[in-house]
């Protein structure tokens, strides 16, 4: 094992998913495992609510407006702070209709409480990659969700105004509706690539599929973390530096070459 691999393992092992430390905005004096943590924390901090205004870095919204905005996002959002405390998810759908099911009572829990024991080491690895700046985003596809679903989990590092690590923004979405829309608009089709999965080497040892980040040797019985929806046996896919993008119309955000 290389020195880098040793250091990476040590760093991941040091991640405290019990959130026993203290972040810059940790609300003390409230049991983070309480089912009504949100209500208790709001009362203790006299948090803004309802029609109270909140000044953001580029706008002013009421709390209600901010909820409308976040709950209308076409993806499931989760916020975990730098202390590994699960603080928020956008309440866009009931538990049974979510891609990565959450319960209202989970808000405030340490990350150790919202993931099964078998997933803990994997979660630590992902968070440590983001905390240490080894990558800014980790992508994982959830395998075995059926032919009409392409479910993706993204873990994006958040940073404060000084560039310091401020937690994880996890967003989950099914890409298949967008893929189908694209195919319908362009008249293109998805076709099998016989070379993509061929070769004895793919069966010799676990390999990560570069397109999906899922192990190409994964089987339907592989354990899946219900909370995150990601296979706990998958290796995280690290985002490479983005390629040059086409010019974008500053006002509309649309490519001027479209």
> pLDDT digit string (tens) for 135-192?
999 999 988 777 889 999 999 999 999 999 999 999 999 999 999 999 999 999 988 8
256 in a structural domain: no
Give the span between the Cα atoms of 128 and 64, in whole angstroms: 34
Query: Which has the minimum average pLDDT: 28-37, 63-72, 96-105, 238-247?
Result: 238-247
203 in a structural domain: yes
DSSP secondary structure of 126-150: HHHHHHTTS-SEEEEEE--S-TT--
101 in a structural domain: yes
Give the span between the Cα atoms of 114 and 107, in whole angstroms: 9
* Tens digit of each residue's pLDDT (9 = 90 or more) over 168-184: 999 999 999 999 999 99
When divided into structural domains, the chain yields a total of: 1
The domain that contains 16 carries what CATH number? 3.30.450.20
- Residue 76 has φ and ψ, to the nearest 5°, of -90, 125
249 in a structural domain: no
Range of the domain at 46: 3-238
* Tens digit of each residue's pLDDT (9 = 90 or more) over 92-128: 888 999 999 899 999 999 999 998 888 889 999 999 9
- Residues 212, 217, 221, 222, CA torsion sign: negative
227 in a structural domain: yes
245 in a structural domain: no
b/e 135-151 (16+ beta carbons within 10 angstroms → b):
beebbbbbbeeeeeebb
By the 8 A CB rule, do 169 and 156 touch?
A: yes
31 in a structural domain: yes
């Amino acid at each position: 094992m290389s020195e880098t691999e040793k250091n990476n393992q040590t760093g991941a092992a040091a991640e405290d998913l019990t959130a026993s430390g203290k972040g810059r905005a940790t609300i003390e004096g409230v049991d983070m495992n309480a089912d009504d943590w949100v209500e208790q924390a709001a009362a203790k901090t006299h948090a803004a609510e309802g029609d109270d205004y909140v000044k953001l870095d580029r706008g002013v919204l009421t709390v209600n407006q901010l909820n409308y905005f976040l709950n209308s996002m076409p993806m499931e959002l989760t916020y975990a702070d730098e202390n590994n405390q699960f603080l928020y998810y956008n309440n866009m759908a009931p538990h049974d209709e979510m891609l990565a099911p959450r319960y209202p009572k989970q808000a405030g829990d340490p990350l150790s409480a919202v993931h099964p024991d078998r997933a803990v080491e994997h979660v630590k690895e992902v968070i440590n990659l983001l905390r240490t700046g080894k990558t800014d985003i980790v992508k994982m596809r959830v395998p075995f969700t059926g032919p009409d679903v392409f479910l993706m989990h993204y873990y994006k590092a958040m940073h404060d105004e000084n560039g310091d690590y401020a937690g994880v923004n996890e967003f989950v979405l099914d890409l298949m509706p967008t893929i189908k829309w694209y195919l319908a608009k362009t008249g293109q089709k998805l076709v099998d690539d016989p070379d993509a999965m061929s070769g004895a080497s793919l069966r010799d040892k676990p390999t990560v599929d570069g397109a999906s980040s899922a192990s190409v040797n994964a089987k339907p019985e592989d354990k899946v973390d219900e909370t995150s929806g990601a296979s706990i046996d998958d290796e995280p896919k690290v985002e490479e530096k983005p390629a040059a993008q086409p010019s974008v119309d500053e006002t509309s955000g649309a490519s001027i070459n479209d």
